[in-house]
Amino acid sequence: MRDATSAAHRELDAQMSAFDLATFSGYRRFLQASAGALLPLEAALVEAGVARMFPDWPERARSAAITADLVRLGKDANATVSVLPLTPSGMIGAMYVLEGSRLGAKFLLKTVADTADPRIGEATAYLSHGAGHRLWQSFLAKLASEQTCDEDEVIEAARSAFAAFEQAADRA
Ligand code: HEM
């Protein structure tokens, strides 16, 4: 999956890096871009029954965290991209992208931690979400134990999830 999505990740990384997270407006646009894809993807996961596949879903969901950050910065998280309904295999692909985004978030949090603007430091529920809970590692364990999924569908959904983030970043 990493190979199948590495080009998409590189592009998204470049796109997201264009937001200057050390400035109030740059950080807010970054959060809006992230929310624009995260909210509809998490909604599609819930709709598809993600909590049956991942019983710890409440611990993984970040819609409330990113919405709270945006509210703190005086913005609603409303301009979301549209995503297609997910099949069970599709859920795994979407979860791969969302859980993987925590790895980038950990790195971005360091940039944010260095900024002098206190408003930014008070709105990091999304970037710091799940830190120390080994959610990526437990996701990988779950991925390895999944026997019945359709690999093409998983990859297709992962690519679509990356595309949703790219679209949301274009619009932010
Ligand atoms: C500027 C933004 C980003 C940076 C700097 C970044 C950085 C990174 C880094 C350093 C890793 C590897 C960490 C490791 O192997 O321990 C990683 C992995 C990953 N990132 Fe990002 N990332 C960013 C944004 C995103 C976003 C927005 C998404 C998804 C929406 C994402 C999805 C992933 C995935 C799925 C992986 C796992 C790859 C794998 O090992 O299979 N990243 N990222």
Assess whether the C-beta atom of 9 lies below 6 angstroms from ligand 1. yes
Query: Which residue from 6, 20, 101, 154 has its CB within 8 A of the most atoms of ligand 1, so it is best to mutate?
Result: 101
Mean pLDDT of all residues belonging to the chain: 95
Cα–Cα distance for residue pair 24/44, rounded to 1 Å: 30
Q: What is the pTM of this model?
A: 0.94
**φ, ψ for residue 140, nearest 5 deg:** -60, -40
Query: 99-141, pLDDT tens digit by residue?
Result: 999 999 999 999 898 888 999 999 999 999 999 999 999 999 9
Right CATH for 2-171 from 3.40.30.10, 1.10.10.10, 1.20.1290.10, 1.20.910.10:
1.20.910.10
Domain ranges of the chain: 2-171
Measured in Å, residue 101 CA sits from the centre of ligand 1 at 5
Residues 6+ apart with CB under 8 A from 38: 62, 63, 66, 98, 126
How many CB atoms are closer than 10 A to CB 96?
23
Mean pLDDT score, 36-47: 98
CA distance 146 to 86: 16
Average pLDDT over residues 25-30: 96
What confidence tens digit (pLDDT) does each residue in 53-87 have? 999 999 999 999 999 999 999 988 777 999 999 99
pLDDT at 89 exceeding the cut of 80: yes
CA of 9 to the centre of ligand 1 (A): 7
Please state the rounded mean pLDDT for residues 29-56.
97
